[in-house]
Structure 1
């Protein structure tokens, strides 16, 4: 199932988002290691993880439920990105770059959810 899921554009974009989040958070202050750094990484990783897990469940109803959880985690990630920008942990340019990827992921996720009815 995983190999099938990794072919989905929404999964590919969400995986790219995770890689970007790890990259931007590596320079967060050390005192955020167990705070915002950990929180935003967990939220971001949750997006592709829920896509994979939902697909592996084998039913459209379960898949949709996990996609909705992925969408929630994506929204959490977007807020935490904003917080990181406002705390000056990331600059405006990088914020917009990663946010645009998150928004593209969200559009793809919404389309997939809609297709499941």
Structure 2
């Protein structure tokens, strides 16, 4: 089993790809601020999960990287809220993204609270 087999990873990756598509329509003046920030934070969820999975032999490292994932997931929620406030995304898109992000958060918290189920010693 690899990191790509984890439901949390799959959902985070799917969400990131949706954010990539949505942000393509953001104004050019946001390219190096809001667009860049929301893309970076959403991608960091999967990237940190990959690192965590590879460090699962060491429970504290595994949990630490997963808490980084959770933090990046929260940051993505904040940037999404800014996107809504600036009227770059619809209320519907925001609500869908927020619910997916919360689901990823629940999955991450399960992993954090149950590291032994993911190969930690």
TM-score, normalization: structure 2? 0.91
Q: For 1:12, which of 10, 13, 27 is the aligned residue?
A: 10
Shift of 1:46: 0.3
How far the C-alpha of 1:9 sits from its partner, in A, is: 0.4
Q: Which residue of 1 aligns with 2:108?
A: 109
SS at match of 1:110: helix
Query: Please, what is the CA RMSD of the aligned residues?
Result: 1.2
Alpha-carbon distance in structure 2 between the residues aligned to 1:8 and 1:60: 17
Matches within 5 A, 1:26-105: 26-57=24-55, 58-105=57-104
- Displacement, 1:48? 0.7
- After TM superposition, give the deviation of residue 16 of structure 1 in Å: 0.8
Cα distance in 1, alignment partners of residues 82 and 45 from structure 2: 19
Q: Which residue is equivalent to 1:22?
A: 20
TM-score by length of 1: 0.94
| In structure 1, distance between residues paired with 2:90 and 2:53 | 36
- SS in structure 1 at match of 2:89: coil
Structure 1 residues not aligned, in runs of 5+: none
C-alpha deviations, 1:23-78, integer Å up to 9, x for none? 11110000000010000000000001000011112322111110000000000000
The separation in 2 between residues aligned to 1:65 and 1:97, in whole angstroms, is: 28
Aligned residues: 115
